[in-house]
Amino acid sequence: LSQRPVLPAKLINGGIAGLVGVTCVFPIDLAKTRLQNQRSGQQLYKNMMDCLIKTVKSEGYFGMYRGAAVNLTLVTPEKAIKLAANDFFRHQLSKDGGRLTVFKEMLAGCCAGMCQVIITTPMEMLKIQLQDAGRLAAQQRVIPSVATTLKMGGTSAVLSRSYNTSPGAQVMRVSATQITRELLKTKGVTGLYRGLGATLMRDIPFSVVYFPLFAHLHQLGQRSSEDSSVPFYWSFMSGCFAGCTAAVAVSPCDVVKTRLQSLRKGANEETYNGVVDCVRKILRKEGPGAFLKGASCRALVIAPLFGIAQVMYFVGVGEFLLGYTPYNIYSA
């Protein structure tokens, strides 16, 4: 077998990893979107657990999976493009036979990040509308005076009552296809790519940090200089740690992206024209701390996602399904 990675096997691994990972961590991702979108004066949710409990109360268990269908449909091609592109660029950059420098590793990661936004931007655009619908509905149900005094902490009884009202739960049941149709009709294809700049701002630095960091951590786990294989748990830990570090590093860009891609706003929530305007308004109205909203949620989402992805890769599920023996790619 040549040293070149077997692309179909890579794509299968990336795809399966994406599906498994998203199913595991989607509720945390939903909490992240809602926490990032809530403004300082109108806090419906105190933290991630509070958000998930209130979501289950008002929207049922499956309320935590609002928007998951879009993600599950598109995460396979997205992960596949990202992982395959990184491998492809690493292969191209190491053609002279020498070892990849950190700069070249970052360059490969950067190119992979640029490739994936083709799918990431519309996927996240649709997912955010569906994830945020419940927050906006809940905000409508909570009387404005409660919303402002919420941070005082003395209104839990009123709040819990308003969360159990069933008519409110029916507010705005939109589907991804409806949103897509509406966007294409009113804004054309560019409507689906709203927030593209912010997505690039988040995904390119993410890939630049993640891929070299993972490659180096992974190398540390090699059994010996002759035996380049790495234990199963080390792949998982390396993926988790690198993913977690990169996720927190680009968290401010993720907040900007979420705000820009949210089409429907709650009461008294400002609109933004572009990245710079968004950064300026968040800084002025909510302070620098707002850029880390949902950062811990994002770390909790990304770490297992990439941990699972790397395990699928190194176990060689795709190779096995295609009839190659597992592990043979990495023994080269």
Dihedral class, residue 238 (left if φ above 0, else alpha if ψ from -120 to 50, else beta): alpha
Q: How many whole angstroms from its chain centre is CA 72?
A: 12
d(CA 260, CA 282): 11
- pLDDT, tens digit, for every residue of 95-126? 777 778 888 888 988 998 899 899 999 999 99
Rg of the chain's alpha carbons, rounded to an integer? 21
Cβ–Cβ under 8 Å, residues 204 and 250: no
25 within 8 A of 305, measured Cβ to Cβ: yes
Rounded to whole angstroms, the Cα distance separating 238 from 217 reads 6
pLDDT at 150: 37
pLDDT of residue 26: 93
The predicted pLDDT at position 3 comes to 44
Cα 256 to chain centroid distance, Å, stands at 13
CA 302 to chain centre: 7
- Of the given ranges (4-13, 212-221, 244-253, 314-323), which has the lowest mean pLDDT? 4-13
Only one residue has tokens 């599950």, namely: 72
Is 249's pLDDT higher than 70? Answer: yes
pLDDT, tens digit (0-9, with 9 covering 90-100), for 252-282: 999 999 999 998 887 778 888 889 999 999 9
Cα–Cα distance for residue pair 159/39, rounded to 1 Å: 17
Q: How much is the pLDDT for 159? A: 33
Which of 305, 59, 115 has the alpha carbon at shortest distance from 313?
305
Q: Do 330 and 4 form a contact (C-beta atoms < 8 A)?
A: no
pLDDT at 326: 52
CA-to-CA distance for 310 and 238, rounded, in angstroms? 8
Distance CA 271, CA 268 (A): 10
Tokens linked to 76: 């396979």
Separation in Å, CA 115 to CA 79, 80, 253: 11, 11, 18
Given pLDDT bands bounded at 50, 70 and 90, which one contains residue 141? confident
Q: What is the pLDDT of residue 18?
A: 83
Quote the percentage of the chain above a pLDDT of 90: 30
pLDDT band at 242; cut points 50, 70, 90 = very high
Higher-scoring residue by pLDDT: 157, 260: 260
Q: Which domains are delineated in the chain? A: 7-138+174-322 (1.50.40.10)
Cβ atoms 176, 126 nearer than 8 A: yes
Angle ∠(308,313,318) on CA atoms, nearest 5: 115
Give pLDDT, residue 311: 80
Q: What is the mean pLDDT of residues 195-200?
A: 92
Is pLDDT at 80 greater than 80 in this prediction? no
Nearest-10 crossing angle of helices 102-141, 7-37 = 40
The mean per-residue pLDDT over the stretch 233-249 comes to 91
Mean pLDDT of the 296-322 span: 84
How many DSSP H helices and E strands does the chain contain? 15, 0
